């Protein structure tokens, strides 16, 4: 029986959408989800079913998971991909936006996993894939909220891996580098620097940071999906897998070895006006 996969955050042009296409290409039954299902383009793969799912709503999550179990009787792979970039200086951000961002990027992983894991536990089998980021380990200026939310995802993945090990449910943490997607365009549309910002002189650097993942060095969403899906469908999985790939991912691996003060100074210089 084909593996059944649930992917969150599958708007057209996202890495979630690319993952759905690749899972389907490999013979899986895929549920592509988004808060508004019309934001998910129709696929040429009949094994992809579009499903409304708001990862910030307990009711919506429960309804979607219930539908999948009713239709297929199981759920083999959960991909927690939903998330958004909220750019700008940390202290310029509205606190309500901060709370919404953590709910979408971080808390949602626990919300969806809580609904899915009991069904996986009944079959003593399952894989949870959490999409983090290289900046969850090495933060940059002007994207501090996104960095913080992804740092929390990194810790959640590690603890879930330990605690789900007795249930024979594996966890994979994926930390993408630069991947071609719609995240920068969405981030730009939501960006609004306050007129009284103490950091207004750095506006061009903020725009540059928003678009940092979209350039010649970026890996295509299709290539990203091929590698992640290939790893996910391997028959034997360790209880925890860490995977990083994409533009500049190797650089970020190297940067981890630097003293923290040196690293932060380098990140500041990379995304600030030269002094």
CATH of residue 230's domain is 3.40.50.720
Q: Which of 146, 202, 240, 242 is catalytic?
A: 146
pLDDT at 26: 98
What are the 10-residue block averages of pLDDT along the chain, 275 residues in total? 96 96 98 97 95 98 98 98 95 96 98 98 98 97 97 98 98 96 77 94 94 89 97 96 95 95 96 72
CA distances from 247 to 7, 40, 85 (A): 23, 26, 18
pLDDT at 266: 95
pTM of the model: 0.95
Q: Is residue 233 domain-resident?
A: yes
Pairing of strands 240-245, 77-80: unpaired
Reply yes or no on whether 146 is catalytic: yes
Q: Is residue 232 domain-resident?
A: yes
How long, in residues, is the chain? 275
Query: CA–CA separation, 45 vs 130, rounded Å?
Result: 24
Q: Is residue 275 domain-resident?
A: no
Residue 257's domain comprises 4-270
Provide the 3-class DSSP secondary structure of residue 268: helix
Query: CA–CA separation, 152 vs 178, rounded Å?
Result: 20
Q: Is residue 103 domain-resident?
A: yes
Domains of the chain: total:
1
For the packed helices 95-102 and 144-164, what is the interaxial angle rounded to 10 degrees?
30
pLDDT at 19: 98
């Amino acid at each position: 029986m084909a593996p059944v996969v649930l992917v969150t955050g599958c708007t057209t042009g996202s890495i979630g959408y690319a993952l759905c296409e690749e899972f389907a290409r490999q013979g899986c039954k895929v549920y592509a989800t988004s808060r508004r299902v019309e934001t998910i383009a129709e696929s040429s793969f009949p094994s992809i079913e579009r499903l409304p799912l708001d990862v910030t709503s307990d009711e919506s999550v429960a309804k979607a998971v219930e539908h999948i179990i009713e239709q297929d009787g199981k759920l083999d792979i959960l991909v927690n991909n939903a998330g958004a970039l909220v750019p700008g200086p940390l202290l310029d951000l509205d606190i309500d936006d901060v709370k919404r961002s953590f709910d979408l990027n971080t808390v949602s992983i626990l919300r969806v996993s809580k609904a899915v894991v009991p069904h996986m536990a009944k079959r003593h089998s399952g894989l949870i894939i959490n999409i983090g980021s290289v900046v969850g380990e090495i933060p940059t200026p002007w994207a501090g909220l996104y960095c913080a939310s992804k740092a929390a995802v990194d810790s959640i993945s590690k603890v879930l891996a330990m605690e789900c090990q007795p249930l024979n449910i594996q966890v994979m943490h994926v930390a993408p580098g630069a991947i071609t997607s719609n995240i920068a365009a969405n981030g730009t549309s939501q960006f609004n620097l306050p007129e009284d910002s103490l950091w207004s002189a750095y506006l061009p650097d903020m725009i540059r940071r928003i678009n940092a993942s979209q350039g010649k060095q970026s890996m295509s969403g299709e290539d990203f999906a091929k590698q992640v899906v290939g790893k996910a469908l391997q028959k034997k999985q360790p209880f925890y897998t860490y995977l990083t790939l994409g533009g500049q991912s190797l650089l970020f691996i190297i940067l981890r070895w630097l003293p923290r003060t040196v690293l932060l100074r380098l990140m500041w210089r990379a995304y600030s006006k030269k002094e």
